[in-house]
Structure 1
Amino acid sequence: MTSISVAIRQVLEATDPYAKVKAARAAARGWRKGAFGPADGSAMPDRPGRPAAPELLAPNLMPRRGKAGSQRARIALLHALAHIEFIAIDLAFDMAGRFGASFPDAFTSDWLAVGADEAMHFALLDRRLRALGSHYGALPAHDGLWEAAAETAHDPLARLAIVPMVLEARGLDVTPDMIARADAAGDVATARILRRIFEDEIRHVGAGTKWFEYGCNAAGEAPGFYWRALVGRHFRGSLKPPFNDSARRRAGLTRDYYQVLASLSISPSGEGVRDAEGLRPGQ
């Protein structure tokens, strides 16, 4: 039986966005149906396939979105979110392919399901962009999120600590405000998409927290203490309030994890979705 690692590499190597979405859905569906054997620990690509557009810029060179509430600002926000979700497909599949052989098969199941969710989120956001006269790739973006994968490629607990438990958790903090602004602007379609993403991301952060705690227990590490050590070692960014404590708690990410680091106010970063985009891995 073919290892799921083969299908995961196909997802990661796909360059066309919709080819990546199609491959992600097919891999997750095949795994659920028992069409693949377990992850075999084979090497994953250092860098996933990327389309020719969007142009990738350094975070400090990203153009401003325009006047709040304008059509230009709305499209720029949706494009930024679509880019986050596109990169998140690869983050989830790389998690399963790179580390799945070291965990029970349920780990692979969880991260393939997360990757399929991210593919669906990307498709919804790109469809919304097209309804507004734009599309994914029409604006520049940056690659800061994949830097977190490169920084933690050697260590599954570091990857779990940084990607779902810092980067995705930040989305839980900022998305409710984006939903409220979409509702206030009468943009019902965007608000509906953001609500779907928000609920799914709680499960994604929950998967990260669950497997981080599993790995810590296996290694004899105290989860909260070890998480803070890994964040300090691999993350160059801020953990700053306001936090959506209730959503984080639903994901199992309690204040015991992050409140101490937040009170230290390490390396301030931007706000809103720029914060979710611009979080940087450590050196």
Structure 2
Amino acid sequence: MHQLKIKAMLAAPLRFSKLPLPIFKAKSYTSSSSSSSFNHPQWSGLQTWRVNPLNEDRFWGPTGPQPPTSSPSSSAEVDEGSVASASSLAELGTLVLSTGDPLAKSKLSHLAYSRWRRHNLPIGVSVPPDRPARPTKPQLVSPKEIPSPKNSGLPLNAYMLHNLAHVELNAIDLAWDTVVRFSSYSDLLGEGFFADFAHVADDESRHFAWCSQRLAELGFGYGDMPAHNLLWRECEKSSDKVAARLAVIPLVQEARGLDAGPRLVQRLVGFGDCRTSNIVARIADEEVAHVAVGVHWFVSVCQKMGHTPCSTFKDLLREYNVELKGPFNYSARDEAGIPRDWYDASSTNKQDNGQLSEVYERLACIISMEKENSSMNSPPG
């Protein structure tokens, strides 16, 4: 009878938080409960990432990440009193979502996660804003209206950093929205779900701080060129089901970061900016954890529903009109635990095709880079 009620909730057509959300009975968050949830390998570092101490390395020093000294993000004005008075993780998440200044949002996200983790606060219940607070700049336009590098007024390294900073700022809100939007069902989801996505939000806030710092070093800032609102639109349309949110955000949007990261690094090295390329490489490496978190909870949801993860993932992408685009970084996706047959129709996941897939992957990256370089170097029309 209990399983029938769960399936009925999961099948109901729901929108946002006005009606009961489709949730499932979940196990408590323990290190031993995760391994039995998978019929395929998961990221080997997932449990280590979960129990790691708080990461205070929010400044990019001469040799890499380090604790802040006089970084630009440290000057952001944050109402620390509101953080100290918050009594739950959901309330802390709502504070972050309601903060418009990007640097303040980044700093507040870290303070919120730190307070929850250090003081063992409950998950609590809160309602997220319809849309997260945003600064007046950058101007949000359609993706087609985003200027090309040569028309942006920024050098290539700053242009790429600005785009990445925009992704990371949205990622902070995407993770906190997941925490807050589903907070009413923490007894069913279990603490682990919220612990993981609050941790993701903390990582993303650190990534934004690095991007913002480097932009300032180059003489620019976040907001110096237009940006799109595509990421938040994807978040909005996946707000009615837990499974949809997991499929659309970590397994599609964040997985695209795994695909794009190495290409961005190569272009920055070619541009001669090794400091920025090191930052981007570190961010891409840390994104593996976020995709792995999505895989873990998506598989868990599907098992509670009695559904096959692969077919459910594909069905959700069709239902929510989400397109998968290559080229794919197969090695990074494999590491994060996404089976290839989830996203690549031509993949058979057989060992004897592994080397051939790697060749195709390299060729696809080279072709993509050549097209981008050709576009950038062509004379104005």
Matches of 1:271 and 1:67, distance apart in 2: 19
Asked if the contact 2:157–2:276 (Cα under 8 Å) also holds between the matched residues in 1, the reply is no
- CA distance change for structure 1 residues 91 and 262 in 2, over 3 Å: closer, same or farther? farther
Asked if the contact 1:172–1:201 (Cα under 8 Å) also holds between the matched residues in 2, the reply is yes
Does residue 2 of structure 1 match 2:87? Answer: yes
Give per-residue Cα distances to partners, 1:36-63, cap 9 Å, x unaligned. 21232x3211100001111111111111
The 5 Å alignment of 1:126-165 reads 126-165=212-251
Asked if the contact 1:241–1:262 (Cα under 8 Å) also holds between the matched residues in 2, the reply is no
Asked if the contact 2:98–2:132 (Cα under 8 Å) also holds between the matched residues in 1, the reply is yes
Q: Which moved more, 1:173-182 or 1:159-168?
A: 173-182
Does residue 79 of structure 1 match 2:159? Answer: no
Name structure 1 gaps, 5 residues minimum.
264-269, 275-283
Asked if the contact 1:240–1:262 (Cα under 8 Å) also holds between the matched residues in 2, the reply is no
Task: Provide the residue aligned with 2:141 in structure 1.
Answer: 57
- CA distance change for structure 1 residues 142 and 133 in 2, over 3 Å: closer, same or farther? same
Task: Provide the residue aligned with 1:44 in structure 2.
Answer: 128
TM-score, scaled to structure 1: 0.87
Q: Which moved more, 1:252-261 or 1:196-205?
A: 252-261
Matches of 2:151 and 2:347, distance apart in 1: 30
Task: Provide the residue aligned with 1:255 in structure 2.
Answer: 340
Give per-residue Cα distances to partners, 1:215-259, cap 9 Å, x unaligned. 11111111110000001111343x233211110011111102111
Task: Provide the residue aligned with 2:103 in structure 1.
Answer: 18
Matches of 1:221 and 1:39, distance apart in 2: 29
Matches of 2:208 and 2:261, distance apart in 1: 15
Aligned length: 264
For the residue of structure 2 that corresponds to 1:33, the secondary structure is helix
Asked if the contact 2:298–2:309 (Cα under 8 Å) also holds between the matched residues in 1, the reply is yes
Task: Provide the residue aligned with 1:97 in structure 2.
Answer: 180
TM-score, scaled to structure 2: 0.65
Matches of 1:71 and 1:19, distance apart in 2: 24
Percent identity, aligned pairs only?
Answer: 37
More helix by share: 1
Does residue 187 of structure 1 match 2:273? Answer: yes
Q: Which moved more, 1:102-111 or 1:81-90?
A: 102-111
Give per-residue Cα distances to partners, 1:197-229, cap 9 Å, x unaligned. 111110000000101011111111111100000
The 5 Å alignment of 1:106-255 reads 106-237=192-323, 239-255=324-340
Question: Following TM superposition, by how much is the alpha carbon of 1:34 offset from its aligned partner in structure 2, in angstroms?
Answer: 3.0
Amino acid at match of 1:135: G
Matches of 1:140 and 1:23, distance apart in 2: 24
Give per-residue Cα distances to partners, 1:53-88, cap 9 Å, x unaligned. 1111111111111189x9622221111110010011
Task: Provide the residue aligned with 2:15 in structure 1.
Answer: none
